[in-house]
Amino acid sequence: MTVWTWTKLAEAGKAAEATPILDRFAENPDRFAEFSVTLDDMTLDFSKTTLDAGAVALLVELAEEQGVPERRDVMFTGGKINITEGRAVLHTALRNRSGKAILVDGTDVMPEVREVLDRMAVFATGIRSGKIAAIDGKPFTDVVNIGIGGSDLGPAMATLALAPYHDGPRLHYVSNVDGADIHDKLLGLDPARTLVIVASKTFTTIETMTNARTAKAWMEAALGPDAGKHFAAVSTALDKTAAFGIDPSRVFGFWDWVGGRYSVWGAIGLPVMIAIGPDDFGEFLDGAQDMDQHFQSAPLARNMPVLLGLVGIWHRNVMGYQTRAILPYDQRLSRLPAYLQQLDMESNGKSVTLDGSPVTTATGPVVWGEAGTNGQHAFYQLLHQGTNIVPCEFLIAAVGHEPALEHHHQLLIANCLAQSEALMRGRTLAEAGKTVKDPALAPHKVFPGNRPSTTLVYTELTPRTLGRIIALYEHRVFVEGVIWGINSYDQWGVELGKELATALLPLVESGRGFGGKDGSTAGLLQTITDLRG
Ligand SMILES: O=P(O)(O)OC[C@H]1O[C@](O)(CO)[C@@H](O)[C@@H]1O
């Protein structure tokens, strides 16, 4: 009975406060082994948390009671778990390399998935080799991807993450409707050498369509009516890509059962495939499949995504922490926090359960972060001494991609481990007193410690490793969403702002008619109108 389990968990949470994390290692020399989980060369360490064996057992019980294994199996087999949109949730089909059929409404989706991936590979290879050339017969040197949200964050994050594997044309990402974005990205690009990919699941998103039209005008000004030959599209709306003038042979489709924020594995990943090539893109998919298979087969208590999800539940619901920080010690993962913000917050930022009734527990935390070590010199002050406790999620590769700069990587590792140690260990007043001549300074140098973190360690940030990392976080979001009883796969919360922006545009354009608006909005419209002159 779930209420009973939540009650027991609340008691466990109170009891946990009595034993500092650091002391738990003295009590149990096997704590690291017992509170970490491994998949091949990847280890998730959650020993620097207040969890003990009893709490983990209760959390696993909660996951079982809430039906995590059953819901997982329904998701993987094409059940329509996105009930508010009547859709299956099958991003896992995009990286199903097993040859097994996956049925949606009785039809195997795998032949279509493979067909699109094969077409992407032919196109990407052609662009990379120059066989698919610009209208003057010369190779494309630059690719501009226009998209936003899931049609931008995943490929942009992955392109940066996999820079050491990038041997195709240069990639540029335009997302913001702010004209500054497309202006600055196109500046210095030669339309004669540039391919534009318009990426939009719906092909209606105002930001993307506005940027796409601007890019088309830029291209047409240079190339005239042949400009369309420098465009490709990724979308589920094939009628709309045709209306935009993109040749169907350059349109790569996907399906309504792939959510935008889960879509990097298929056609939305086209720019990544162009950058790193189909073979490495295949490795990326293989990595995700590794995690899928582990998620499906490992017992809950040794299951990496389940445990990461349960650590999240412990921190959010039992300890009451409101945010979680994503802290990759990898400059090339500097877009990971932004990517995970959409994945996590658009999925689990919900207030009603599947049946529409209000939730009775807190749901998704605020997700934020920055690459280490940069964050250390910005916001770690608050992490160590602020009044909020922020569970920190560190990521670090054992090996960097720059052998000649090995000393940099050693410093990076030392910094990463030092931070989780410092958060846990803290510094007492007595210890602080020994570091200062003036005792009045000692309180300023106290660190409360006992601040929780997890660390994900792997050999090297390869395409396969990146695939595993992203799939790990996708499944973590799933596990938490199931426990909270919410639909992680819709995003109605983004609609109201879009509707109001559409209604406001004519007022901005005309500079009048503010009467029906609330005082603040009318006042801001008037002020902006006056400033625009
Ligand atoms: O790919 P599209 O349809 O342009 O949508 C872009 C993004 O907009 C949203 O629908 C809402 O912001 C996201 O879920 C999605 O990733």
**Complex-level ipTM:** 0.98
Q: How far is the CA of 489 from the centre of ligand 1 (A)?
A: 12
Average pLDDT, stretch 294-320? 98
Per-residue confidence band for 3, with pLDDT thresholds at 50, 70 and 90? confident
Beta-sheet pairing, 366-369 with 323-328: parallel
Dist. CA 295–CA 290, nearest whole Å: 9
Average pLDDT, stretch 277-289? 98
CB 202 within 8 A of CB 235: yes
Ligand 1 and 155: CB distance under 6 A:
no
Ligand 1 and 494: CB distance under 6 A:
yes
131 is an active site residue: no
Q: What is the model's pLDDT at position 281?
A: 98
Q: How far is the CA of 260 from the centre of ligand 1 (A)?
A: 6
Kindly give the interhelix angle for 463-484 and 153-161, rounded to the nearest 10 degrees: 140
CB 21 within 8 A of CB 319: no
Q: Could you tell me how far CA 428 lies from the centroid of its own chain?
A: 37
Summarised one tens digit per residue, pLDDT across range 451-493 is 999 999 999 999 999 999 999 999 999 999 999 999 999 999 9
Q: What is the model's pLDDT at position 2?
A: 79
Summarised one tens digit per residue, pLDDT across range 339-361 is 999 999 999 999 999 999 999 99
Per-residue confidence band for 525, with pLDDT thresholds at 50, 70 and 90? very high
Kindly report the protein residue whose alpha carbon is nearest to atom 13 of ligand 1: 149
Where does residue 210 fall: left (phi above 0), alpha (psi -120 to 50 degrees), or beta otherwise? alpha
The pair phi, psi for residue 234, each rounded to 5°, is -130, 120
Summarised one tens digit per residue, pLDDT across range 257-266 is 999 999 999 9
Q: What is the model's pLDDT at position 233?
A: 98
Q: Could you tell me how far CA 364 lies from the centroid of its own chain?
A: 14
498 is an active site residue: yes
Ligand 1 and 175: CB distance under 6 A:
no
**Token match 């979001």: residue?**
477
Residue 265: CA count within 13 A, CB half-sphere: 32
Q: What is the model's pLDDT at position 1?
A: 55
What percent of the chain has pLDDT above 70?
A: 100
Dist. CA 78–CA 323, nearest whole Å: 32
Ligand 1 and 376: CB distance under 6 A:
no
Q: Which atom in ligand 1 lies closest to the alpha carbon of residue 148?
A: 6
Please provide the average confidence, as pLDDT, over all residues in the chain: 97
Kindly report the protein residue whose alpha carbon is nearest to atom 7 of ligand 1: 149
Q: What is the model's pLDDT at position 264?
A: 98
Q: How far is the CA of 233 from the centre of ligand 1 (A)?
A: 15
Q: How far is the CA of 476 from the centre of ligand 1 (A)?
A: 21
393 is an active site residue: no
Ligand 1 and 289: CB distance under 6 A:
no
Coil, strand or helix at 103: strand
91-276 CATH fold: Rossmann fold (3.40.50)
Q: What is the model's pLDDT at position 497?
A: 95
Ligand 1 and 177: CB distance under 6 A:
no
CA proximity to 349, closest of 457, 261, 471: 261
Ligand 1 and 208: CB distance under 6 A:
yes
Summarised one tens digit per residue, pLDDT across range 163-206 is 999 999 999 999 999 999 999 999 999 999 999 999 999 999 99
Classify domain 3-77+291-484 by CATH architecture: 3-Layer(aba) Sandwich (3.40)
Q: How far is the CA of 494 from the centre of ligand 1 (A)?
A: 9
